[in-house]
Amino acid sequence: APKAVETEAPVVTEAPATEAPAETEAPAVTEEATYPPAPEFIELGSSISLTGNFGSLGNLILPGYQIAVEHINAEGGVFVKEYNTKIPLRLTYYDDESDPTKAVSKMETLFSEHELTAYLGGGGSSMHAASIPIAEKNKVPYLGISFALYKIHQQGYKYLFSPFPKSPNQTEDVFKILNEAIPEGERPTKVAVFAYNDDWGKEWGGLVKERAPEYGYEIVVYEENPVGVNDWTAAIQKAKAAGAEMLLTLPIFPDGSGMFKTMAELGWTPKFSLVIRAPEGVNWGESLGKIGEYVTIFPGWHHGAKFEGVDKLNARYEELYGRPADLLTGPAYACVQILAQAIEKAGTLDRDVIRDTIASGEFSTVIGKVTFNADGTGNVLDPLIQWQNGKMELVWPAEHATAPLIYPAPAFEDR
Amino acid sequence: MKKNLSFVIALVVTAALAAVPLFVKKDSLLTYLCMILLYVSLASSWNILGGYTGQVNLGHSAFFGLGAIATRLLWFAGWNILLAMLVGGLLAIAFALLIGSPAFKLRGAYFTIGTLALGQILYATVGNLFPQISSMPVQDLISYTLVTRYYLFLAVALITVLAATLVANSRWGLGMMAVREQEDAAESLGVNAFQHKLLALVLSAFLAGLAGGAFAFFQIGYYPQYPFSPIWTLDSTMMAYIGGTGTILGPIIGAIFFVVLKEVLSLNLAEFHPTVFGILFILVVLFLPGGFMGLWKRIKDKQQKKRESMAELSHP
Amino acid sequence: MLKLTEIDTFYGDLQALWGISLEVREGEMVSLIGPNGAGKTTTLQSITGLLRPAKGSITFDGHDLLKVPPDKIVDLGVSMVMEGGRVFAGMTVLENLELGAYGSRARKERFETMEHVFKTFPRLKERLNQRAGTLSGGERQMLAIGRAMMSKPKLLMLDEPSFGLAPILVDAIFEMVKGINKQGVTILLVEQNVRAALELADRAYVIENGRIVGEGSGEALLSYESVRSAYLG
Amino acid sequence: MLLQVEKLNKAFGGLKAVNNVDFSIQSGEIVGLIGPNGSGKTTTLNLLTGFLKPDSGSIMFDGKEIAGSPRCSMCGNGIARTFQLVKPFLNLTAVQNVMIGRTFGKEATMNLKLAEEDSFSILEKVGLRSRAYVLAKDMTLMQRKRLELARALAAKPKLLLLDELMAGLNHAEADEAMETIREIRASGITILIVEHIVKAIMGLSDRIIVLNMGEKVAEGTAQEIMYDPRVIDVYLGKSHA
Amino acid sequence: MLQPLAQNIIYGILIGALYGLAAVGLSLVFGVSKFLNVSHGELLMLGGYASFWVFKLLKIDPFLSIPLTIIFLLLIGFIFYRLIFSRLIKLEVEKKIQNSLLVGFGLSTILQNVALRLWTADDRSITTAYSGLSFELAGLRLPAVRLISLAISVVALISLQIFLKKTFTGKAIRATVEDWQSASLMGINIHRVYLLAFVIGCALAGVAGTLVSICYSIDPSMGLNWTLKSMVVMVLGGLGSMIGTFVGGIILGVTESATAFFIGGNYRLIAGLLLFLIILIFRPQGLFGTKEGDR
Ligand SMILES: Nc1ncnc2c1ncn2[C@@H]1O[C@H](COP(=O)(O)OP(=O)(O)OP(=O)(O)O)[C@@H](O)[C@H]1O
Ligand SMILES: Nc1ncnc2c1ncn2[C@@H]1O[C@H](COP(=O)(O)OP(=O)(O)OP(=O)(O)O)[C@@H](O)[C@H]1O
Ligand SMILES: [Mg+2]
Ligand SMILES: [Mg+2]
């Protein structure tokens, strides 16, 4: 049997479709209208990387989807006007082994085997890039997070929605925040960029190059590596020699940990470092200890964010995994929330109507109010997180902050 | 008589495969069939050099990737897909010719790892030169049909298997096997080992290039580097081995076994499917050290021996 | 000393030996002759444990060899020189000799034994640190025999020691084998050079198609017409 | 003159494995090449068949200079050989082994059917007809040697080089082998034979060439060689004198 | 210019030593039993995780826990050999290479998956109190952790070399490599030799894994890259030569670092592999391989 997750809560299977009308306040009920028989479930499908290179992402995203489904089903599901009843959600997911081709066939299987209402994405831009076109071809709304690559959104896909900060936000926000938080004269104006030669790396690097001067920063070192090269010695030496004060980079974990260990060894401490990707999991702090302190990230969310529902999510996550929700859990959870709200608003399981509803609506989620632009990018909060004392603290924007930004970072040898 | 029988079976199987889209409407099933056909092409083309000629090539994905990249670029530039694929195949040949002479200076493990390095170089270079994702334009997605892809994969697989069969049963095939078994002896009998290896390489490369072209036509969005990944080589090598190298049917059986087993397991066991796959895979290897075709051969040998001993009994 | 009774040995499903029985007494030199593929090598390998007979028994000095693991058979005093003087080509002459004394019994006395071997083969002492692969055919054969001697065998088995050697070396090798036998080592010799083998041996067995078909003193067999026509041509 | 070798030289590092060797072979002859182990016999064969490139010297075969030609062209020139350490195509059947000789040799045929038929009759000649469908790896050493001979014959050479084909045969078996070799000669093939079995080499060869340490030390008929004191000294030893 | 270059080359050597150590184990196993164990990288991963957990849970310094890691991998190696690889010993060489590839492939799939389930897909890295420490010498920085790693690699290599060249057991291993039948006739228990070589290979992979987890990071899918790298290094050095393999690793490491320095990180991998191929063109048997070392 395919791996159908009705979540751990028994509610799903029991949720009797007939109970729903009584509860609803919908005026339609009064007219004794006849409704078509409701499907047993609202089917959501996900091809997600649980093994292979992107396994760490997939395993963070999946619980977000699962808990959201569980929470919504605990309320009986989503009310769909067309059937005049609440219908529970059902998530079916397959492991694509971090292989784009397998992802394609898993996407097709999901579509063929289930009356899908929407796809939920996996993790990593290359996986999204392979999957999204299938959704587009099958005309099924696709909600995906955990990729900042903006370019995907410029392909004209109609069914893609991503409530997640993108490269243009990140590369602009970092300078904005610094200029707001740090008085002129103390700012780390000499910037080293350690980028990648993949398309996200290039997109990101290009944007940084463009923005830095606008905000009064100068890029003194720009180094590029292929993904998976964990030796950054040459780049670090150049940065050190150029007197760079700030590091902007987006390494995967092995590269990032290698980078920071070498930085400590070579004695170059940037006053401020924005390190996207590698430090987004709790393993960063566990693995790197003091060396990994004070780096900042733009993960799209933090469990300390003061939005409705965050506490409930954290509580459940704590129950399951013994810690507050991880950074990707919130956005994943939000995807399901958005879908549920859109379906309810649309009042139908017609995918095109749902798509239009997502595109035009405003949704309130654990990541805050979300609306979508025409290209499918979400207007979402882009909080800055900093590693402090082995924990990730939300340091920006101030109204959500759990701790103040620490600047400048103390030198490695003084920690 | 036996030849005729296999010919008839082959025809029937081909006809059945050609009729599949008439009955199968599910895109998921068609996608799996496409994957199987793709791997049949890859494993069979690998087998021409690795199985028949004994040159274990771990850089096969280079040819697959070259075919894919050329086809994709030309196709997006508006070329006819078949023409684009042909150019992809020719590009693979060009690369084969370029590396043939230095590569065949190496023997055994040195050749194997040398080709692995070649494949990795291409993988890294393409990653450097084409970092941008290649996506089919959205307006083309509307007209995307899997059935066309299916037929293309089928055609490539048929061409590959047919070419392999023709070569294996020719004088060239004999020469290749001689080179595989004992290069010195082969040369002493007049077999030009280099020529045979090169021919096998060129053919293997061309067919893999065609497969790459078909892949480029099939996969909607991917990084140009992806078809160059060593995983393709590893998978097709494993398929050829587990089916039985140096035979026509081996790689076909291997590909089917591999893809189907993997798919069935991953659809049914979300978290532990690789473990179960690995265990089954190892068990098959331990019990069938010559691959599936090895088992087949042993059964035939046993029968043959029985017949011989019967004959001996009747004419002492 | 060595006694084989009713040995059957198989290669897979192929039976190579059929009820072989033979005996070698202490101090004797016994030859085993027979046409190609008769099973001579197979017999020797069955004794050393390289092959395991399916049936029958092999006793040596009161030990049941079929119950002894192959690597312990050498320790009992059984040593064999394989066809073609196979030495460890990548290792030095010295290392080859040392490995000959790998068994625990021989290892203790390896230095004395080596001196002894050098007395029999002075050539080896001159080439001590040369890689065995660069030795000439005759020297290799000497090394192979010397290496076997290093295990202090009570029984030394030689498989075609004259294979591929120039006539002048053949004579020399046979002289050495005779010398070793004189020192008290029992010898079981397989040879295609039937005349020399029979002349040297105290006794001989004739093996054909995996079966013993004749047995007798060397001289006696030499004079048999059937043996003459079959092996001496 | 079928083969004319002049001033042939080959050294491995400091070792002169073949040193200024001259000899020639007439069509239809059987010539023996003997010498102590390591005297350069196999090396000479390797030079003749292109497996080694001579340092200097000339090899005229059938009116054509062939020194240094690639080894895979030698068979086409009309020279076939066997190897001292036999090199069968282990995973092919006996008949496939022979077919390769037949389809790539001097009078190569492209017609596989024809080649197969021919191969059977060649296997018959060397006494392996009943083993035609046996894989070479399932054969004994002696069968492999016969197979090697069959394969070389299938290439239809003018000159056949045999390297210790008879090593490991007893005298009676050697007699049979000698008979086969005579038949081959009778079919019009010239033979150069390297062998350590004195009886065979003396019995077969019209002429014998003796090498020692890479140099030719004697040449003559069997009788002449038998009693040549130098040959006795370096090769035969006293017992054969 | 000179100083940064020197600094870079130092790092190249330090990294290269790791490559070398990783490859030595693979090379030993391949030399002795002709097993091309493509799960070598996964064994490395197991070694890394072993040190990581011992460090995390028991707070034992990763360098000090190396003996534990070695024991753990010896055990793993023993199990794998007994359960799986011993069944391939009797096959002919070609089939042995082929089947060990297959079995190794299956094994690596299993190990990756099991590691993923046991330890999640999270990357891990060991950072001790002295990580990041370095000594300054003539303006060059010598990182403590990597220096110790280098020392450990060298010690491991030299011990292996002494073991192979000087001890009876080591000679028995080499003898078995050359001719197992003759070796068996010498009274060498060849099954024990194969087992021994295999588990030593595993242990070396484990040590390499420890060092990787200290200098870099580990995760369940790290294996393939290390296997590929080890294979390249093994061949670069020449099959059968342990010293050669180690030197090959260092050459590769230095080439990569120098390329990153002069041309850019994008070309380090390519340059390393190109150098490898160029060396092979001139020395088809690898740097320290012998001519007959083929196959
Ligand atoms: N490895 C093997 N596999 C299968 N059969 C074998 C093997 N080795 C030998 N045989 C068979 O066993 C029989 C005896 O062979 P054996 O090698 O003992 O003969 P031999 O008397 O030593 O001959 P020779 O004079 O050629 O050395 C032969 O018929 C041969 O076919
Ligand atoms: N490829 C090689 N490299 C180095 N030395 C070689 C090579 N081939 C042969 N030799 C050496 O050249 C000399 C002649 O060898 P060759 O094989 O020709 O001897 P042979 O006369 O055939 O001896 P045998 O009767 O033992 O077969 C020997 O000393 C040998 O060690
Ligand atoms: Mg024998
Ligand atoms: Mg010779």
pLDDT one-digit tens code per residue, A85-132: 999 999 999 988 888 888 988 898 899 888 999 999 998 888 898 899
For the stretch D61-79, pLDDT in tens is 999 999 989 999 999 999 9
Q: CA nearest B118: which of B151, B137, B147, B92? A: B92
Alpha helices, DSSP H, located in chain B: 2-23, 27-47, 60-76, 81-103, 108-129, 138-141, 146-168, 171-181, 183-188, 193-218, 230-243, 249-268, 273-287, 291-314
pLDDT above 50: residue A8: no
Compute the mean pLDDT over every residue in chain B, rounded to the nearest whole number.
91
**Percent above pLDDT 70 for chain B:** 96
D-chain residues within 8 Å CB-CB of C10?
Answer: none
E77's enclosing H/E stretch is helix E66-83
Average pLDDT of the residues in A62-76: 96
Give the DSSP letter of residue B224: T
Q: CA nearest C233: which of C35, C41, C94, C52? A: C35
pLDDT above 80: residue B316: no
For residue A196, is it left (φ>0), alpha (ψ between -120 and 50) or beta?
beta
Q: With bands split at pLDDT 50, 70 and 90, how would you rate the model's confidence at A1?
A: very low
Q: Which residue does chain E place closest to C149, by CA atoms? A: E186
Q: How far is the CA of E63 from the centre of ligand 2 (A)?
A: 52
Neighbours, chain B (3 or more CB pairs < 8 A):
A, D, E
For the stretch A265-323, pLDDT in tens is 999 999 999 999 889 888 899 899 999 999 999 988 999 998 999 999 999 999 999 99
Q: With bands split at pLDDT 50, 70 and 90, how would you rate the model's confidence at A22?
A: very low
What DSSP line would sit under E191-229, residue for residue? HHHHHHHHHHHHHHHHHHHHHHHHHS-B-TT-HHHHHHH
The ligand minimizing its distance to the Cα of D163 is 4
pLDDT at site B149: 94
Is any atom of ligand 2 closer than 6 Å to the C-beta of D36?
no
**A interface mutation test: which of E123, E134, E211, E259 has the most A CBs within 10 A?**
E123
Two structure tokens written together for E213:
């987890």
CATH number of B32-273: 1.10.3470.10
Nearest CA to ligand 2 atom 19: D38
Same-domain check for residues D110 and D132: yes
A-chain residues within 8 Å CB-CB of E116?
Answer: 50-51, 55
Same-domain check for residues D25 and D72: yes
Which residue reads 């089916």 in tokens? B243
More confident call, E46 vs C198: E46
Is any atom of ligand 1 closer than 6 Å to the C-beta of C42?
yes
pLDDT above 90: residue D58: yes
Does B102 sit behind a cis peptide bond, omega within 30 degrees of 0 on the bond before it? Answer: no
For the stretch A239-256, pLDDT in tens is 999 999 999 999 988 899
B-proximal residues of E, 114-153, CB under 8 Å: 114, 117
For residue E142, the cross-strand partners are E135
What DSSP line would sit under E130-180, residue for residue? TTT-EEEETTEEEEHHHHHHHHHHHHHHHHHHHHHHHSHHHHHHHHHHH-H
d(CA B88, CA B66): 6
For the stretch B148-194, pLDDT in tens is 999 999 999 999 999 999 999 999 999 999 999 999 999 999 999 99
Number of Cβ pairs < 8 A linking chain A and chain B: 110
Three-state secondary-structure class, residue B240: helix
Which residue reads 């050609």 in tokens? B18
Domain residue ranges of chain B, discontinuous segments joined by +: 32-273
Q: Which domain holds residue D202?
A: 3-78+157-240
Domain residue ranges of chain C, discontinuous segments joined by +: 1-77+153-166+184-233, 85-152
d(CA D122, CA C218): 40
Query: Chain E: nearest CA to A357, how far in angstroms?
Result: 36
Strand A218-225 vs strand A190-196: parallel, antiparallel, or unpaired? parallel
End-to-end CA distance of chain D: 32
Q: Could you say which of A52, A254, A291 has the minimum Cβ distance to residue E131? A: A291
Is any atom of ligand 1 closer than 6 Å to the C-beta of C70?
no
pLDDT at site C199: 87
Is residue A241 within 8 Å of A215, Cβ to Cβ? Answer: no
More confident call, A19 vs C136: C136
pLDDT above 90: residue E67: yes
D212's enclosing H/E stretch is strand D207-212
Q: Which domain holds residue E289?
A: 2-294
Q: For C192-231, b where at least 16 C-beta lie within 10 A, e where not — what string?
A: bbbbbbbebbbbbbbbeebebebbbebeebbeeeebbebb
Which residue reads 């003159």 in tokens? D1
Residue E227: which CATH number?
Answer: 1.10.3470
Q: With an 8 Å Cβ cutoff, are A290 and E127 in contact?
A: yes
Strand C2-11 vs strand C55-60: parallel, antiparallel, or unpaired? antiparallel
Q: With an 8 Å Cβ cutoff, are A286 and E56 in contact?
A: yes
Distance set, CA C156 to CA B161, C100, C190, C210 (Å): 57, 13, 11, 22
* Residue A34: CB atoms within 10 Å: 6
How deeply is E58 buried, as exposed, middle or buried, from its count of CB atoms within 10 A (0-12, 13-18, 19+)?
Answer: exposed
- Asked if chain C contacts chain A via 3 or more Cβ pairs within 8 Å, the reply is no
Query: Chain C: nearest CA to E182, how far in angstroms?
Result: 7
Same-domain check for residues D161 and D45: yes
d(CA E115, CA A59): 14
Q: Which of D119, D134, D151 is the last residue of a domain?
A: D151
Q: With an 8 Å Cβ cutoff, are E189 and C71 in contact?
A: yes
pLDDT at site B309: 63
Q: What is the largest CA-CA distance in chain A?
A: 79
Rounded to two decimals, the pTM is: 0.90
Q: With an 8 Å Cβ cutoff, are D168 and C163 in contact?
A: yes
By most ligand atoms within 8 Å of CB, the mutation choice from C8, C41, C162 for ligand 1 is C41
Q: Could you say which of E168, E174, E192 has the minimum Cβ distance to residue C102? A: E168
Does A408 sit behind a cis peptide bond, omega within 30 degrees of 0 on the bond before it? Answer: yes
Tallying the residues shown for chain A, one arrives at: 415
Average pLDDT of the residues in A188-211: 93
Number of domains in chain D: 2
Residues contacting B21, CB < 8 A, separation 6+? B30, B147, B150, B151
Q: For A258-281, b where at least 16 C-beta lie within 10 A, e where not — what string?
A: bbbbbbbbbebbbbbbbbbbbbbb
Is any atom of ligand 2 closer than 6 Å to the C-beta of D17?
yes
Sign of CA dihedral A221, A227, A230, A234: negative
Residues contacting D18, CB < 8 A, separation 6+? D8, D9, D10, D40, D43, D44, D47, D54, D211, D214
What DSSP line would sit under C114-159, residue for residue? HHHHHHH-HHHHHTTTSBGGGS-HHHHHHHHHHHHHTT--SEEEEE
What DSSP line would sit under D108-146, residue for residue? --S-HHHHHHHHHHHHHHTT-GGGTTSBGGGS-HHHHHH
For the stretch B214-257, pLDDT in tens is 999 999 888 899 999 999 999 999 999 999 999 999 999 999 99
Q: With bands split at pLDDT 50, 70 and 90, how would you rate the model's confidence at C233?
A: low
d(CA E230, CA E232): 5
E-chain residues within 8 Å CB-CB of C72?
Answer: 187
Q: Which of D118, D151, D184 is the last residue of a domain?
A: D151
Q: Cα torsion at D42, D44, D45, D48 (round to 10°)?
A: 160
- Asked if chain B contacts chain E via 3 or more Cβ pairs within 8 Å, the reply is yes
Q: With an 8 Å Cβ cutoff, are B220 and A50 in contact?
A: no
pLDDT above 90: residue E22: yes
Same-domain check for residues D137 and D163: no
d(CA B54, CA D92): 13
More confident call, C226 vs A279: A279
d(CA B293, CA C6): 39
Residue D65: which CATH number?
Answer: 3.40.50.300
pLDDT above 50: residue A16: no
Neighbours, chain A (3 or more CB pairs < 8 A):
B, E
pLDDT above 80: residue B270: no
Residues contacting E22, CB < 8 A, separation 6+? E40, E41, E44, E204, E205, E208, E212, E226, E229, E230, E233, E249
pLDDT above 50: residue A20: no
For the stretch C165-196, pLDDT in tens is 888 888 888 988 999 999 999 999 999 888 88
Q: With an 8 Å Cβ cutoff, are B181 and D90 in contact?
A: yes
Q: With an 8 Å Cβ cutoff, are D196 and C167 in contact?
A: yes
Q: With bands split at pLDDT 50, 70 and 90, how would you rate the model's confidence at E289?
A: confident
pLDDT at site B279: 94
Nearest CA to ligand 2 atom 6: D12
What DSSP line would sit under A185-228, residue for residue? TSS--EEEEEEESSHHHHHHHHHHHHHHHHTT-EEEEEEEE-TT
Is any atom of ligand 2 closer than 6 Å to the C-beta of D210?
no
Assigned CATH topology for domain C1-77+153-166+184-233: Rossmann fold (3.40.50)
Residues contacting B165, CB < 8 A, separation 6+? B248
Return the ligand 2 atom nearest residue D52 CA: 1
Three-state secondary-structure class, residue A123: coil
pLDDT at site A9: 37
pLDDT at site E137: 85
Average pLDDT of the residues in C41-47: 93
A-chain residues within 8 Å CB-CB of E256?
Answer: 231
How deeply is A27 buried, as exposed, middle or buried, from its count of CB atoms within 10 A (0-12, 13-18, 19+)?
Answer: exposed
d(CA E278, CA D188): 50
Q: With an 8 Å Cβ cutoff, are D167 and C35 in contact?
A: no
pLDDT at site B308: 64
Query: Chain B: nearest CA to D215, how far in angstroms?
Result: 25
d(CA D21, CA D192): 15
- What is the interface pTM, i.e. ipTM, of the complex? 0.88
